[in-house]
């Protein structure tokens, strides 16, 4: 959340960034409410000062008739204060709700553009694979090795669900374990997190109110199923002051993610590229503002380390203004090549959110030797997301008979060199 003071002092920039995002936000209404709030506060304070002065005079007066007249007058003042206080609460409530609708400011270096077509390719790493045979899509490979069953997943839960079994289930587990191990060795503290969070937690992280329609919710309890571990990580220190000397704090966690994916007919209808439930390894950083640019690059480097270890071609994308997420000031996407469809699949978004989420979650910290508190910067990145990483491994390492070579780095986890064709 942007502070009211920041919006007031940087109205032109906030308004410009909203337009660059190709979205809308109630900036004008926020400023109107702010003016009304300040006027009401001024009126209430003036009336209270008047009442306090009159109370002292009444106490000191020896004129009984005059005292009663002043008391009646102050009762009327009290009634007026009550009315103004009521109006003030309504104004402040609407003002807070409107502030939650304003996206983060944009980093000045973000490419300008209305949508993903304006994203900028920063770097492409690795050579695209070539095959002496026609490469198969991952859903065909999954059937050949007998480990992917989309029909049974749909039977149990409907469209956009699937099951993995045997070597493919182990391959996904091996990928997750590799990611956790590698990020852990890099100094990230592994965390086990709740998969269901309260509504307050979703507001704090920035998923609510904007993305309510994309969330799964328990109909009877105040629980939302997490769309990403980022939401839980944001709330680790909600309404707390982080003691001096603890920043930066770096975390990594593996969780399932649940999202109401709204897909157009004919788009991504085959396979497991998009679904309502998927696995993800997520990295998260709390840091001082002066550290956030370096931490952003660290997160991107950690995400890049995984396809490099796997031997997969990937590229880094600098998202344009119209494609940067609501909470972020700047985002780099990591995409891995999928041969069959001839496309790059997003497996990570590394985002710097500045102090946007810290304001929403009321998180502060103290620097060593200081009593005053500041809001920390908060950053996140997938490290990486499944099933798209699984898809790219299957398609890039496929062999002519449909078997799948296990990447060298995963063989100690798998105990096999090849996922064989099902007998």
What positions carry a catalytic annotation? 259, 274, 346, 349, 388
* Sequence-ordered list of residues with C-beta below 8 angstroms from that of 8, at least 6 positions apart, any chain: 31, 34
DSSP string, 254-287: EEEEE------TTSS-STTSS-SEEEEEEEEEEE
CA gap 272, 259 in Å, rounded: 14
SS3 call for 101: coil
Tell me how far CA of residue 366 lies from CA of 238, 250, 284, 292, in angstroms.
15, 17, 20, 16
CA gap 138, 140 in Å, rounded: 5
CA gap 73, 140 in Å, rounded: 85
CA gap 226, 256 in Å, rounded: 8
Tell me how far CA of residue 205 lies from CA of 2, 20, 237, 328, 411, in angstroms.
13, 22, 12, 11, 38
Structure tokens at 254: 């593996």
Q: Which residues of 82-118 are buried (b: 16+ CB within 10 A; e: fewer)?
A: eebeeebeebeebbeebbebbbbbbbeebbebeeeee
| Gyration radius from the chain CA atoms | 28
Question: Do the Cβ atoms of 272 and 353 come closer than 8 Å?
Answer: no
Beta pairing class for 314-318 and 120-125: antiparallel
């Amino acid at each position: 959340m942007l502070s009211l003071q920041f919006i007031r002092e940087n109205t032109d920039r906030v308004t410009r960034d909203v337009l660059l995002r190709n979205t809308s936000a109630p900036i004008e209404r926020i400023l109107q409410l702010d003016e009304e709030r300040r006027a009401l506060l001024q009126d209430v304070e003036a009336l209270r000062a008047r009442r306090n002065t009159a109370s002292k005079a009444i106490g000191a007066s020896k004129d009984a008739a005059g005292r009663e007249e002043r008391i009646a007058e102050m009762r009327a003042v009290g009634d007026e204060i009550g009315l103004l206080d009521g109006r003030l609460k309504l104004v402040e409530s609407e003002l807070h709700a409107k502030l939650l609708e304003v996206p983060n400011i944009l980093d000045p270096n973000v490419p300008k553009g209305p949508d993903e077509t304006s994203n900028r390719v920063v770097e492409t790493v690795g050579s695209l694979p070539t095959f002496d045979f026609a490469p198969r899509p991952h859903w065909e490979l999954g059937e050949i090795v007998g480990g992917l069953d989309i029909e049974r997943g749909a039977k149990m839960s409907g469209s956009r669900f699937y099951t993995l079994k045997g070597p493919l289930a182990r391959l996904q587990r091996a990928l997750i374990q590799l990611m956790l191990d590698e990020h852990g060795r890099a100094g990230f503290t592994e965390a086990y997190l709740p998969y269901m969070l309260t509504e307050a937690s979703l507001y704090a992280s920035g998923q609510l109110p904007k993305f309510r329609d994309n969330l799964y919710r328990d109909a009877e309890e105040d629980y939302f199923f997490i769309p990403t571990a980022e939401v839980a990580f944001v709330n680790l220190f909600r309404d707390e002051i982080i003691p001096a000397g603890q920043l930066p704090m770096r975390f990594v966690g593996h969780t399932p993610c649940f999202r109401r994916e709204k897909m157009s007919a004919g788009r991504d209808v085959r396979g497991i590229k998009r679904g309502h439930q998927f696995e993800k390894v997520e990295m998260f950083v709390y840091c001082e503002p002066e550290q956030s640019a370096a931490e952003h690059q660290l997160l991107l480097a950690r995400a890049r380390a995984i396809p490099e270890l796997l031997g997969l071609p990937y590229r880094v994308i600098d998202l344009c203004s119209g494609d940067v997420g609501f909470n972020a000031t700047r985002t780099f996407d990591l995409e891995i090549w999928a041969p069959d469809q001839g496309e790059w699949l997003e497996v990570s978004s590394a985002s710097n959110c500045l102090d946007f989420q810290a304001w929403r979650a009321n998180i502060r910290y103290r620097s060593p030797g200081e009593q005053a508190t500041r809001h920390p910067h908060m950053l996140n990145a997938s490290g990486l997301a499944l099933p798209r990483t699984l898809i790219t491994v299957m398609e890039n390492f496929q062999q002519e008979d449909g078997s799948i070579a296990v990447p060298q780095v995963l063989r100690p986890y798998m105990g096999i060199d090849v996922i064989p064709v099902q007998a």
